[in-house]
Amino acid sequence: MYFNEEHNALRNMVRKFVDKEINPNIDTWEEKTVPLHELFKKMGDLGLLGITYDQKYGGQGLDYWFDLVFLEELGHVKAGGVPMAIGVQTHMATPAVHEYGTEYLKETYLRPAIAGDMVTAIGVTEAGAGSDVAGLKTKAVRDGDSYVINGSKLFITNGCQADFVTLLARTSDKPGYHSFGLFVVPTNLPGFVVSKKLDKLGMRCSDTAELFFDDLRVPAENLIGKSDEGFIIQMKQFQHERFFALPGTYVGARDMIDMTVKYIQERIVFGKPLIKNQVLRHRLVDWITEIECLKQLTYHIVRMKVKGLDVTREISMGKLLAGQLSFKVSNGCLQMFGGMGYMNESLISRNFRDTRLLSIGGGAEEVMKEVIARYEGF
Ligand SMILES: Cc1cc2nc3c(=O)[nH]c(=O)nc-3n(C[C@H](O)[C@H](O)[C@H](O)COP(=O)(O)OP(=O)(O)OC[C@H]3O[C@@H](n4cnc5c(N)ncnc54)[C@H](O)[C@@H]3O)c2cc1C
């Protein structure tokens, strides 16, 4: 219906890549960290890091259905930290450069990011400002042809390995949303410090950092858009970030269910396979039904995106549902595995830990509800 031979060819390519280049390495990467330069170079060579981006900068120039196919296949990766790192590169740190960056920024930063020659990070959250983005304190003060940046960022994915950070900083002390600039900040400049690599519950193969900016002088030409438009641009960029989470969630949740069904078909308890208990079958069917709802909402969003419509309301609903559903499914499947599900050796325990982030990161569940309530007019 939506997919032709070209979409299927992309699907096969990504599936093979996940099976060959990602999943066999997951256990090692969970112990250490994903080597992003190595992984992204391979993906860049296959054209996977700029599917919807302009061909002029090395992108594929394809429509959002191709993007959906790519993201659905990433849903089969056996640890959330890898797709999250990829998503930062493709859907979180670069959309603003693509949409609002100058020719210079696109040539100098977007092109190498698409090629996999540069690793990116998105720097919004601070110790005192997560859900309330406008509360951030990192300052960018204009000084001649540069901005001088001082402050810190917390929980930054890819932060230890990034070549540049797309950074939201305060450019004025005026209250309101027109006091921020979004900058491309190369990490090789003096004053950039990775102050800490953070330890986490899940997404263990992902590199999460605390960053520090100490009188870091970035050329004024590294500003994306105008010096008072950064907040608005970042809010738009968040829509790409939140969309990114949807396909991987319904595909990943379905994988969890398939794995669980296989287990409970074989697991004999009270003299019969666990699956013979109607209560468990019905629970699985409830989840499969909700997974289908999330998938169809996502397809609806893609149809709207293709038409250039505002999808903020629908993406917020999708992100809300994705967080709730992945928690419900990973928690419920773990329960069906019993003690085995609690063991680190079972994939479901990793699924449970990794998916917990979805209701917090990139806009917490309550923040999504506030956005939806605003669209509903109350
Ligand atoms: C593993 C990981 C990776 C991350 N990667 C990045 C990254 O790459 N770049 C980046 O900039 N940030 C990143 N983040 C930060 C993430 O986006 C924030 O953690 C998130 O936005 C929530 O902010 P906070 O942690 O400050 O929670 P707070 O803002 O302190 O909120 C705490 C809790 O309060 C609740 N809450 C918030 N607002 C309301 C409200 N209005 N009504 C009721 N309840 C509310 C929510 O449940 C929320 O979880 C990452 C976080 C994690 C854990």
For 343, other C-beta atoms within 10 Å of its C-beta total 11
Report the relative pairing of strands 180-186 and 223-224 from DSSP bridges: antiparallel
Closest of 171, 164, 278, 142 to residue 211, by C-alpha: 164
3-state secondary structure of 139: strand
Give helix 64-74 / helix 278-306 axis angle, nearest 10°: 150
65 has a pLDDT exceeding 70? yes
Question: Which top CATH class is 5-115?
Answer: mainly alpha
Q: Nearest residue CA, atom 12 of ligand 1?
A: 125
Reported as a single tens digit per residue, the pLDDT across 171-191 is: 999 999 999 999 999 999 999
pTM value > 0.85 = yes
**Residue 262: Cβ-neighbour burial (10 angstroms; 0-12, 13-18, 19+):** exposed
Spans of all domains in the chain:
5-115, 120-228, 232-376
The predicted structure's pLDDT at residue 2: 80
5-115 and 120-228 agree in CATH topology = no
Assigned token pair, 128: 């005192």
Amino acid in position 173: D
The atom of ligand 1 lying closest to the CA of 129 is 26
Sequence-ordered alpha helix ranges (H) in the chain: 5-17, 26-31, 36-45, 64-74, 81-87, 95-100, 103-105, 111-115, 230-266, 278-306, 312-337, 339-342, 347-355, 365-376
Give the Cα separation of 373 and 378 in Å (integer).
5
For residue 212, give the nearest of 195, 231, 227 by alpha carbon.
195
Of 30, 241, 290, 366, the active-site residue reads: 241
| Average pLDDT over all residues of the chain | 98
The HSE-up count of residue 182 (CA atoms within 13 Å, CB side) is: 33
- pLDDT surpasses 70 at 315: yes
Q: What are phi and psi of 172, to 5 degrees?
A: -155, 160
Q: Is the CB of 211 under 6 A from ligand 1?
A: no
Atom of ligand 1 nearest to the CA of 123: 11
Ligand 1 centroid distance, CA of 292 (Å): 27
Q: Are 122 and 93 in contact (CB under 8 A)?
A: yes
Is the CB of 370 within 6 Å of ligand 1?
A: yes
Per residue in 39-50, pLDDT (tens digit) is: 999 999 999 999
Residue 285 has a pLDDT of 98
- pLDDT band (50, 70, 90) for residue 79: very high
Tens digit of pLDDT for each residue in 322-349?
999 999 999 999 999 999 999 999 999 9
115 pLDDT above the threshold of 90: yes
Residue 138 contacts residue 149 (beta carbons within 8 Å): yes
Q: Let me know if 31 is a catalytic residue.
A: no
pLDDT in tens, 278-307: 999 999 999 999 999 999 999 999 999 999
Q: Is the CB of 320 under 6 A from ligand 1?
A: no
Q: At residue 1, does pLDDT exceed 80?
A: no
Q: Whose CA is nearest to atom 39 of ligand 1?
A: 366
Longest dimension (CA), the chain: 78
Task: Label the pairing between strands 120-123 and 164-170.
Answer: parallel
Instruction: Tell me which residue has its CA closest to atom 16 in ligand 1.
Output: 361
Phi, psi for 225 (deg, rounded to 5): 70, -155
- Using most ligand atoms within 8 A of CB, pick from 166, 360, 371 the residue to mutate for ligand 1: 360
* Torsion sign (Cα): 149, 152, 155, 157: positive
State whether the beta carbon of 87 lies less than 6 angstroms from ligand 1.
no
The 10 Å Cβ neighbour count of residue 123 is 29
The CATH superfamily holding the domain 120-228 is Butyryl-CoA Dehydrogenase, subunit A, domain 2 (2.40.110.10)
Q: Domain 232-376 is classified in which CATH homologous superfamily?
A: Butyryl-CoA Dehydrogenase, subunit A, domain 3 (1.20.140.10)
